[in-house]
């Protein structure tokens, strides 16, 4: 019996590999566009930061990590020029983290690279199957969320 298709876990493995294929390609191309110092997790931070910034706690919750871990990531991103901390306008305890020019540049590069990846995928599968793929995956994730298990972007192991 073919081991990879035995059991019921094949779709899960395929989602994992599909994600990795895309994210590897993204970071190869980001690196050769001058963004060698960003990790996959940073992209998810940027996504939460656009367009108006977010607090450290919001980032932590978005990523499913502790606020301390989020704070350390923000340290890194600030040192590398991707974000800046501003004092929060309405909460003296809080700060808002916003993207710098370089941060936005990285987002734009990411958009461009992913557009290329998905264009190649669409060439391969056709637009209809691509749409179905997205629709179906959305439904699976939605179902998980409705069962009371919200899904985060956390690292997997």
Residues that bind a second copy (CB under 8 A): 3, 6-12, 14-26, 28, 39-41, 47, 50-51, 110-111, 114-121, 124-125, 129-130, 132-134, 136-141, 143-144, 149, 151-157
User: Which residues neighbour 49 within 8 Å (Cβ) at sequence distance 6 or greater?
Assistant: 59, 83, 97, 98, 99, 103
Q: Would you count residue 69 as binding DNA (CB under 7 A)?
A: yes
Q: Which of residues 84-123 bind DNA (CB under 7 A)?
A: 85, 88, 91-96
Residue 155's Cβ-side half-sphere holds a number of Cα atoms within 13 Å equal to 8
Q: Which of 73, 83, 107, 113 binds DNA (CB under 7 A)?
A: 73
115 binds, among a second copy, DNA, none (CB under 5 to 8 A by kind): a second copy
User: Which residues neighbour 100 within 8 Å (Cβ) at sequence distance 6 or greater?
Assistant: 81, 82, 83, 84
Q: Would you count residue 53 as binding DNA (CB under 7 A)?
A: no
- We find the least distance from the C-beta atom of residue 23 to DNA, in angstroms, to be 14
User: Which residues neighbour 156 within 8 Å (Cβ) at sequence distance 6 or greater?
Assistant: 16
Q: Would you count residue 5 as binding DNA (CB under 7 A)?
A: no
User: Which of 95, 90, 83 lies closest to 45 in space, CA to CA?
Assistant: 83
Q: Mark residue 86 as left, alpha or beta (left: phi above 0; alpha: psi -120 to 50; beta: remaining).
A: beta
Interface residue list for DNA (CB under 7 A): 39, 41, 55-58, 65-69, 71-74, 76, 85, 88, 91-96, 155, 157
């Amino acid at each position: 019996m073919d081991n990879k298709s035995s059991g019921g876990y094949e779709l899960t493995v395929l989602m994992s590999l599909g994600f990795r294929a895309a994210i590897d390609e993204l970071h190869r191309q980001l690196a050769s566009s001058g963004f060698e110092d960003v990790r996959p997790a940073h992209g998810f931070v940027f996504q939460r930061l656009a367009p108006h910034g977010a607090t450290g706690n919001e980032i932590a919750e978005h990523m499913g990590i502790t606020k301390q871990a989020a704070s350390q990531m923000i340290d890194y991103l600030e040192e590398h020029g991707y974000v800046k901390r501003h004092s929060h306008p309405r909460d003296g305890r809080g700060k808002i983290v916003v993207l710098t020019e370089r941060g936005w540049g990285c987002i734009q590069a990411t958009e461009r690279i992913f557009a290329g990846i998905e264009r190649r995928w669409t060439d391969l599968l056709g637009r209809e199957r691509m749409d179905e793929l997205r629709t179906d995956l959305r439904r699976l994730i939605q179902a998980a969320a409705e069962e009371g298990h919200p899904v985060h972007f956390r690292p997997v192991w």
